[in-house]
Amino acid sequence: MRIVIMLLLALAVAILLALFPHVADQPLRLEAFGWIFESRQGPFIIALLLLLGLFWLLRRIVVAIMAGPGHAWQALRMGGRKRQESHLRDGLAQLIDMRGDLGARHFRKVRNIIPSWAVSLLRRSPAPAADQPLPGEDDDALQIALAARITTDPHANPKPDLSTRKMHLEAWLRTSPEAPLAMQRMLEIAEEEGDWERAARLLEELWNKGGRSAATIRPRLAEAYLALAKQKPESALDHLRKAHRLAPESTGVLLALGRAQGDEEACRKLWSAHLEQHDDAQIAEALYELLKRDALKAYRKMEKLKIGKMTPAQAWLRAQLAHDANLTGLAMDHMQELVKHHPGRLAWKALGDWHARESDWVQAAHCYQKALQVEEDSPEFDTGSDKV
């Protein structure tokens, strides 16, 4: 700051002397200690300013020598770095604003603080997903990863086609096979393609490597095994058992596993055990189709259960079996008790069907209307309590 003030002062004096030359030509006489110094005012003032500048320069040199050569180099280097940072900031501003040459001129001046591959990344960042170039053999791993991440962004609009996204992800996984995000995006592609074998493998890798929490992966992996069982019937039972271990309460898995076992007794035990703990209308309906062949025997077994420990699904099943066993009075009492405490579409519809068979159309219509009034997003039974 002081050197700037000195330079401004010298410039002002030079301008004044140029504007008033007669003042500069006036003689100047100094006497001190027997010495006499004579000169003109203009040259004297300029010489004095030059002397002060020389003194400042000598002082800086002495300070630099005392501090060591590293300090002088650092001072020069910091000045250059600040200029480069200024160019970098201007280049980024042009790139973000999408104006000018997108910062190309500024980036050429900052090669000492930002490498060329980083410049390439910066140039790819603003490009939308559909405009990202396909990965090349000479592309840097970071360029491939960034392009793949932008291309497969779930919120990209317009979204590139499936083959383009898959190509980017495969290149990303070749350069970074341990990248969790690449695996997650490839998992979405596999699910979209219906490639459930690859989806299951990717989910297992993510789980083993800690890429996602177990609570997130378990239901998706069970769904993948369930879909894989449909694709490969020859190994369906193994896949369904894996799915059941992952999601033991899943209705879809339980239904598929019970039917794939090929053993009605094992299927009955599986579904009955599930109904003892869960109010699952779909399992109850499937189990009813098995038990209604010998409805009286099945009802006698369920009659031994304590009423207070039965789930609403079990109560519905018991009432249906009683009705099929021609125990009409007991069946009606059971179902009316169920709709009183746990009304649901399935229970009201069963009552309506029974009244319709008896040609009691008024009561049947009333029951069907009640069934329609139940909210579509409500559970099949009112599960405010899991026990009747």
Q: Which of 328, 263, 318, 324 is nearest to 292 (CA)?
A: 324
Q: Which of 155, 211, 162 is nearest to 190 (CA)?
A: 162
How many C-beta neighbours within 10 Å does residue 222 have? Answer: 24
pTM of the shown model? 0.63
Q: Which of 112, 142, 109 is nearest to 123 (CA)?
A: 142
Report pLDDT for 388: 32
353-355-357-359 Cα dihedral, nearest 10 degrees: -140
Report pLDDT for 36: 74
Domains of the chain, earliest start first: 2-62 (no CATH), 81-125 (no CATH), 276-388 (1.25.40.10)
Give backbone dihedrals phi and psi of 112, rounded to 5 degrees, phi first.
-75, -25
CB of 361 within 8 A of CB of 330? no
Mean pLDDT, the chain cut into blocks of 10 residues (388 residues total)? 66 72 72 72 74 78 66 49 75 67 74 68 78 83 88 89 92 88 92 92 87 83 93 92 93 93 90 90 91 90 80 90 90 88 87 91 91 64 38
Dist. CA 253–CA 227, nearest whole Å: 10
Report pLDDT for 6: 65
12-13-17-20 Cα dihedral, nearest 10 degrees: 60
Report pLDDT for 112: 63
CB of 258 within 8 A of CB of 245? no
Report pLDDT for 85: 74
Give backbone dihedrals phi and psi of 383, rounded to 5 degrees, phi first.
-100, 45
CB of 172 within 8 A of CB of 148? yes
Report pLDDT for 138: 79
Report pLDDT for 382: 41
How many C-beta neighbours within 10 Å does residue 122 have? Answer: 19
Report pLDDT for 386: 37
How many C-beta neighbours within 10 Å does residue 287 have? Answer: 24
List all residues 6 or more positions away from 282 whose beta carbon is below 8 Å from its beta carbon: 251, 255, 380
From the number of C-beta atoms within 10 Å of its C-beta (0-12, 13-18, 19+), residue 338 rates as: buried
Report pLDDT for 375: 56
Structure tokens at 320: 């249906």
